[in-house]
Amino acid sequence: MRIAVAGATGIVGTWIVREARAAGHDVLPVARAQGADLITGAGVHLDGAEVIIDASGPRTGSAQQARAFFAATSSTLLRAGVESGVRHLVSLGIVGAAKAPYGYYAGKALQERLVATGPIPWTLLRSTQFFEFAEKHVQKLGPWWALPVMRSQPVAAASVARRLVELAVEPPRFGALELAGPERMSLAEVLRTRDRALGVRRTVIELRAPGGFARALRDGTILPGPDAEIVGPRCAEWAASPA
């Protein structure tokens, strides 16, 4: 099967390409590095692709910029998919985005609506936070390293990628699934676990930020529901594995 992967060079996109190729699929990376601009549509050609896995995303915390990005990229992929006869769009979402449409999540909430009302049969996989986000989002604050107070059930990016590839070969669900890791823990706990495994010495603290998005991180909005699929590895296992 030929699978087009949008956002093929990102954290999860890189794993999707790896998992899809390991499963014997023909992968068509769709990213700027391959000359494809998802925002303008320039260079986006999906000839021969049967399925699109969309793991694209902007590097922004602005709701306005996130909405603009996902409005443009969704339009590009849906248009190119229809032109190329794509029969299934598998989109990566975030658990809680539709309930907490702030910042980046506002863009993901819009993306969900566009996919669900678009012309291509679809499946939405809502994932919890990736373990990898702990290192990505931590900020130096004097002698400390800070992350927001958060209640989450994080998961390895590789596990999310594997499930996306599995869904790509299944019939479209025309609905959403949730995927989460096996443990409830904050990203600060994830980073501390990773630091211990690597022998890194630093003090990681959690900050209680103001605003609706920070409140959603704390109050359980981004926790998975009771029907979520649970996949490993556990955080300590992930932390001890090679990057």
For residues 4 and 136, the model is more confident at: 4
Asked if 167 and 195 count as a contact pair (C-beta separation under 8 A), the reply is no
Question: What pLDDT digit, counting tens, does each position of 132-183 carry?
Answer: 999 998 999 999 999 999 999 999 999 999 999 999 999 999 999 999 999 9
- Report the half-sphere exposure of 128 (CA within 13 A, side-chain side): 31
Q: Does residue 243 register a pLDDT over 70?
A: no
Q: At 34, is the pLDDT very low, low, confident or very high (cuts 50, 70, 90)?
A: confident
Looking at per-residue pLDDT, the higher value among 83 and 242 belongs to 83
* Residues 50 and 121 sit within 8 Å (Cβ to Cβ): no
pLDDT classification of 41: cutoffs 50, 70, 90:
very high
Cis (ω within 30 of 0) for the bond into 233?
yes
Q: In terms of Cα–Cα distance, which of 129, 219, 123, 210 is closest to 175?
A: 123
Q: pLDDT value at position 211?
A: 87
Within a 10 A sphere around the Cβ of 128, how many other Cβ atoms?
A: 23
pTM of the model: 0.95
Q: Look at residue 29 and tell me whether its pLDDT is greater than 90.
A: yes
What pLDDT is stored for residue 33 in this prediction?
A: 86
pLDDT of residue 61: 81
pLDDT at 209: 84
Share of the chain above pLDDT 90, in %: 92
Domain 2-240 has CATH 3.40.50.720: yes
Segment 107-132 mean pLDDT: 97
Contact partners, residue 13, CB within 8 Å, separation at least 6: 5, 6, 7, 31, 55, 56, 161
Residue 212, pLDDT score: 87
> Which two three-digit tokens encode residue 25?
């699929």
Query: Cα-Cα-Cα-Cα dihedral of 193, 225, 62, 158, to 10°?
Result: 50
- The position carrying tokens 């915390």 is 61
Is 242 a residue whose pLDDT tops 80? no
Which 3-state string (H, E, C) describes 80-123?
Answer: HHHHHCCCEEEEEEECCCCCCCCHHHHHHHHHHHHHHCCCCCEE
Give the chain's radius of gyration (CA, Å): 18
What value does the mean pLDDT take over residues 36-52? 95
Domain range list for the chain: 2-240
Residue type, 89: L
